[in-house]
Amino acid sequence: MNMGRLFWKFFFAFLAALLVAGVGVGLAVFLFHQQSVAQPVRLERQSPPWPDARPSGPDEPRFGEMRLAPPDGFPPRGLPPPGGQPPPLLPIVAALLASLAASALLAWYFAKPVRNLRWALGALSEGKLETRVQPLMGRRRDEIADLGRDFDQMAQKLSQLVESQRSLLHDVSHELRSPLARLQAAVGLARQDPAKIAATFDRIDREVVRLDRLVGELMTLSRLQAGTGEEGKSRLDVIELVAGIADDARFEARASGCDLNFSASGEFVIDGKAELLHRAFENVVRNAIKFTHPGTTIELETDLSVPRRLRLVVCDCGPGVLPSELEAIFEPFHRGADASADGFGLGLAIARRAIEAHGGTIRAANRSQGGLCIEIVLPAA
């Protein structure tokens, strides 16, 4: 198995640290041993246990003679040291082997998760978005384990983004196919019956306008997803912006047999992108006009009761949406159960990304008396 350069860096670092520690401990033991050997020798005068005692051997001192007494802790003269004298290189060899084993174990412990991360990054770069590294970390509870969790979150996010792009491409292809098919049919009819060329041109013109609107919304959505806007930020009053949208929408609502009530006061100035915010608010209001029942009134309210925060609520009197779809209606090309409604399902998706680009939030909830309310919250700059 290829250990890699990081393993050997860890290995030699730990080995050097252990050897330095071992040399320090060995030097301390050696100095202590030398100090014990250099203790002063004590002279003892031999006294007989009884007055008429005589020497029993040639090596025994006579009465009144002086002899050398061994230092405290050493065996008496003539007795070998207990256990014998160990070889002088044995402690050094043992310390070296222990250092090698400990260094290899520590280096393997610290280098293994890094190798796992390298493998996971390589697999991710090859398009294997299902790669996860956290199960390989075991029970680690350190910064390297945190890095593994961050990697898994990144891989999960990438997988979701790629899946979203695939779904978006599929939906775009489906939306483009329908008007193109109608254009092709109109051209075929014009060729078969030249007397209907004028009506056919009108049909072609409507489909071209529809295609142009679809492409424009797709470009806006793409820029918002990429984090780029159509223009730089500028100082603008959001209340004034919403008031202009409400005036225009009121005419459209009355033409459809309903009405729009707008109530607001004060001002809320932020640094924002006027075109994106205008499109976001307009999409939400037009969505309410599209689905509200004839003869009803759409409520558009602003709330500045919380300091440095604007709350905008748009409520219609339409059929509402299923609870399971309250979040899905903000996804591209989602049109709920009423798929026959005019539009591409991009309006609320654009609104969400535009509001989030300004640090705000948008959510939907069904009204108890019927209809849908969409709440937008924007923070001050």
The CA-atom distances, in angstroms, between 90 and each of 29, 96, 194 are 14, 10, 109
- State whether the Cα torsion 35-36-38-42 is positive or negative: positive
The confidence band for 109, taking pLDDT boundaries of 50, 70 and 90, is confident
Instruction: Please write the tens of the pLDDT for every residue from 153-177.
Output: 888 888 887 877 777 777 677 677 7
Interval 230-271: pLDDT, tens: 457 889 999 999 999 999 999 889 988 999 999 887 889 999
CB-based contacts of 29: which residues, under 8 Å, 6+ apart? none
- pLDDT per residue as tens digits for the range 29-59: 666 666 665 555 454 554 555 455 455 555 5
* pLDDT value at 85 more than 70: no
Cβ pair 117, 40 in contact under 8 A: no
What pLDDT is stored for residue 187 in this prediction?
83
Residue in this structure with the two tokens 């998706």, named with its chain if needed? 349
Mean pLDDT of 135-148: 79
CA–CA separation, 304 and 311 (whole Å):
7
Mean pLDDT of 61-88: 51
Residue 180, CA atoms < 13 Å, CB-side half-sphere: 8
- How do residues 273-299 score in pLDDT, each as one tens digit? 888 899 899 999 999 998 999 999 999
Does 1 have pLDDT greater than 50? no
The pair of structure tokens assigned to 201 is 């041109």
- Which has more pLDDT, 130 or 69? 130
The span from the CA of 331 to the CA of 335, in Å, is 9
Going from N- to C-terminal start, the domains of the chain cover 144-226, 234-379
Max intra-chain CA distance, the chain: 160
pLDDT band per the 50, 70, 90 thresholds, residue 63: very low
- The second-level CATH assignment, the architecture, of 144-226 is Orthogonal Bundle (1.10)
The model's pTM is 0.57
Look at residues 351, 339, 333, 343 and name the one whose alpha carbon lies nearest to residue 173: 333
Q: Which residue type is seen at 160? A: Q
Mean pLDDT over residues 195-219, rounded?
82
Say what the pLDDT of residue 47 is: 52
Half-sphere exposure of residue 61, counting CA atoms within 13 Å on the CB side?
Answer: 13
What is the predicted pLDDT for the residue at 26? 66
What CATH number labels 234-379?
3.30.565.10
What CA–CA distance (Å, rounded) separates 59 from 37? 25
| pLDDT more than 90, % of the chain | 20
pLDDT value at position 43? 47
**Section 91-111 average pLDDT:** 72
Which of 338, 360, 342 minimizes the C-alpha distance to 351? 360
Structure-block tokens of residue 280: 């976001």
| Average pLDDT for the chain | 77
Taking residues 225-234, what's their average pLDDT?
Answer: 65
**pLDDT tens-place string over residues 337-354:** 554 556 677 889 889 988
CB 300 within 8 A of CB 261: yes
What's the pLDDT score for residue 112?
80
E-assigned strand segments in the chain: 42-45, 66-69, 234-237, 259-263, 269-272, 297-303, 309-315, 361-366, 372-379
Lowest mean pLDDT of 42-56, 187-201, 266-280, 358-372, name the range: 42-56
User: 309 pLDDT exceeds 90?
Assistant: yes
46, 25, 28: which is closest to 36 by C-alpha? 28
Q: Letter for the amino acid at 250?
A: R
Q: Is the pLDDT of residue 379 over 70?
A: yes
Question: Are 112 and 144 within 8 A, CB to CB?
Answer: no
Report the catalytic residues. 174
In terms of pLDDT, which residue wins out, 49 or 10?
Answer: 10
Look at the alpha carbons of 276, 280, 285, 288 in this order and tell me if their dihedral is positive or negative: positive
For 208, what's the count of Cα atoms within 13 Å in the CB-facing half-sphere? 8
Mean pLDDT of the 62-87 span: 50
- Please give the pLDDT value at position 355: 93
Q: What span, in angstroms and rounded, lies between the C-alpha atoms of 11 and 28?
A: 26
Q: Give the orientation angle of helix 347-357 with respect to helix 197-226, to 10 degrees.
A: 30
> What pLDDT, on the 0 to 100 scale, is given for residue 240?
92
- How far is the C-alpha of 240 from the C-alpha of 95, rounded, in Å? 80
Alpha-helix residue ranges (DSSP H) falling in 126-196: 143-192
